[in-house]
Amino acid sequence: MSGYCHTRSFALRYTDFDFRDKLKPSAVLGLAQEVAASSADELGFGYEALKKKDYGFITVNTYCELFAPARPGDVLTVETWPLPPRHVIFERDYRMKNQRGEIIALLASRWCLIDLPRFSMLPPTALGEVHERCPYNPEKVLELSAQKIPKLMEGKEFGRRTIVPSDCDHYLHANNTKYADFFLDCFPMEKARPVKAFHISYNKQAKEGETLLILGEEQEGSVLLEAREQDAVIARFWAKFGEESK
């Protein structure tokens, strides 16, 4: 890799794994969120810097492919970099490797810069000098645009989830990392399968006390789910499943 790259290492905890000792997608999203935040701090447009302007970044969607299995105690090196923004879309990619050099996960994400009081999207120029001097890196690890989540045409109810305070972040809505659990918790243990790839898109914010109705349809080796609050689609989720490893 050439160009800017922010790197951090994390020791995986037992709480990052599910009941089958598989790394949870929500844990992968949590690692990505941590390293994205410290990269943004380093580049001058982190949470505290934007808070002074009443600006904030929100995630639009994230696509992830999982490769080598991870184990508790593994040390993951997580790399991230912002790509050149397009119109009002900011992109950020990630690469996660273990101490043996094996790729654990690759992620591609899209974000929007928001004027929080108006909740309107802002162009990169709103960042001023930090945008002008930002060392954007054009390297792509995945083509997120090729993995658009289709709309759910028909679906059955998979479950319901009420947003509680522990789901929420400093923007007072459910944190994006929580949705992977919201969706995958719709499957009881006997029907759970290892996730090989997943894509989450976020349409609206879910706040404390709101109850999400999760509808979906299963296809051969994959699932398509939607979280709705009343008639509004809050988030969509697609996952591809793999075989259980021995």
Q: Summarize pLDDT for 170-204 with one digit per residue, the tens.
A: 999 999 999 999 999 999 999 889 999 999 999 99
Q: Which CATH superfamily hosts domain 156-241?
A: Hotdog Thioesterase (3.10.129.10)
Rounded to two decimals, the pTM is 0.93
Enumerate the domain spans of the chain: 6-145, 156-241
Q: Do domains 6-145 and 156-241 have the same CATH topology?
A: yes
Q: Say if residue 149's pLDDT is above 90.
A: no
Q: Which residue has the tokens 């949470």?
A: 47
Q: Which residue has the tokens 């080598």?
A: 68
CB 128 within 8 A of CB 107: no
**How many whole angstroms from its chain centre is CA 86?**
19
Mean pLDDT, the chain, integer: 93
Share of the chain above pLDDT 90, in %: 87
Q: Say if residue 206's pLDDT is above 60.
A: yes
Mean pLDDT (whole number) for 55-78: 95
Mean pLDDT (whole number) for 8-13: 97
Q: Which fold has domain 6-145?
A: Thiol Ester Dehydrase; Chain A (3.10.129)
More confident residue, 245 or 8: 8
For the stretch 104-144, pLDDT in tens is: 999 999 999 999 999 999 999 999 999 999 999 999 998 76
For the stretch 14-56, pLDDT in tens is: 999 999 999 999 999 999 999 999 999 999 999 999 999 999 9
